[in-house]
Chains A and B, each alone.
Chain A
Amino acid sequence: MPEKPNKQRAVLLGGLVIGSLWGIPFVNMINCCCCAGILLGGIMASYLYREEFVEGMPPFESSDALITGLLAGIVGALVATFISNLIHLAFGPVGAEVMKDIIEKVLQRLEEQGSIPTGMYDEMLEQLEREINKPLTLYEVLKDLLFSVIILPIFGMLGGLLGFAIFGKKKTAQPA
């Protein structure tokens, strides 16, 4: 009886999507909504793996979706750390600057509406400036990697399971 297809392709592609959506500045803003980018990557990995099942193979099951999402999250963590640090080395802290621009706009709007006390705006901007000027050290890179390796597989796995719930089992006719 033919075995289940190899997860390698789905995991790598899913991991690449997760890594890109987590590591590329501005694009990674999507994760501000409860890691939507990672969930999407997990869903995609699960979908890609499901598509590899052909007639005669055992069916695509929820455990396949869980493992694919989890592995894609681990690969994504490595890819994201690589991408974000590469961008930081090449272009400087663009991610933090993009974030600063966005937060600046939000704060400005909130101050105009009177939702935040006067003076808080400048204080928060100072805080952001300090974050931007922080140098890139090995400690920071490892800390980044550690957080990513914890968070991304969890949300990747949830994405994989959501993918299974969305696309469902793939029934493959078994040979008689």
Chain B
Amino acid sequence: MAGIIVDKDYICRDYATEIFMISPNRTYNTLLALVTVWCIAIVAAPLLAAGGEVSGPAGSLLYEGFSRICHQIDARSFHIAGEKLGVCVRCSSIYFGFLATLIAIPFIVSPNRLRTPSIQWLFLALAPMIVDVLSYNLGIQSSPVMARLVTGILAGAILPLYIVPSLLEAVGQIKMSLYKAGGFYARKTQ
């Protein structure tokens, strides 16, 4: 733009603070909002479906969407208002476990200070679910609801500890490279 002199280095120095100190929280909040919407959709599917002709089509659409990622077997799902949730017990546990940890993180540590734990904890938390799935499919045990619930929550709850730090760092890096390239963030400073 004519008449405006922009010291790009200065902008980078000045806004690096904003990008790496404030933005991680925005990214975290966005992630939290998206996961919350996802979990609400799981619960909304039966409530809408139970609404009859008025909200039924919306419920069917949600069921249709979730059917791509879950078997949705009625007998393997929790029920609300006489209808099954959008996904089965195991999937629900994973998603709600994921959401619970996301909600808990800011009460324990600032999201941008969260560090990825040792990888062995991830395998340790996933192992019970894998054992439950395999032993059920081999006919060794019947995989009761409680087993699916507990192992699912455990698996879902551990995942944010590995995903959130990488995600916040990645978004920060992408934003930095965007304004270094003179994109949106450089224009914002003018």
Contact = CB atoms under 8 A, between A and B. Distances in A.
Interface stretch (A10-18, A49-57, A87-95, A161-169): A161-169
Contacts of B189: none
A147 B68 contact: yes
B91 A161 contact: no
A113 B166 CA distance: 45
A33 B166 contact: no
B91 A34 contact: yes
A35 B64 CA distance: 16
A32 interface: yes
A140 to B, nearest CB: 11
Given A31-B69, A151-B69, A62 B169 contact: yes
Contacts of B162: 161-162, 165-166
Contact of B69 (A35, A99, A115, A164): A35
Interface in B168-190: 169-171, 173-174, 177
B70 interface: yes
Interface stretch (B5-13, B43-51, B71-79): B71-79
A158 interface: yes
Interface string A55-98: 00000011101110000000000000000000000000000000
A109 B173 CA distance: 51
A40 to B, nearest CB: 12
B70 A151 contact: no
Contacts of A106: 73, 75-76
Interface string B11-27: 00000000000000000
A35 B87 CA distance: 12
B147 interface: no
B173 A162 contact: no
A161 B71 contact: no
A120 interface: yes
Interface in B71-109: 71, 73-76, 90-91, 94-95
A165 B129 CA distance: 20
B2 interface: no
A110 B64 CA distance: 24
Contacts of B163: 158, 161-162, 165
A18 B62 CA distance: 23
Contacts of B71: 32, 99, 103
Contact of B169 (A35, A61, A107, A113): A61
Contact of A34 (B74, B94, B165, B167): B94
B135 interface: no
Nearest to A102: B71
B170 A61 contact: yes
A169 B14 CA distance: 27
A3 B124 CA distance: 37
Given A32-B70, A116-B74, A116-B75, A165 B170 contact: no
A124 interface: yes
B69 A166 contact: no
B104 to A, nearest CB: 19
A89 B165 CA distance: 44
A150 B142 CA distance: 34
A124 B74 contact: yes
A158 to B, nearest CB: 6
9 contacts: A32-B69, A63-B177, A66-B170, A106-B76, A113-B142, A147-B64, A147-B68, A164-B170, A165-B122
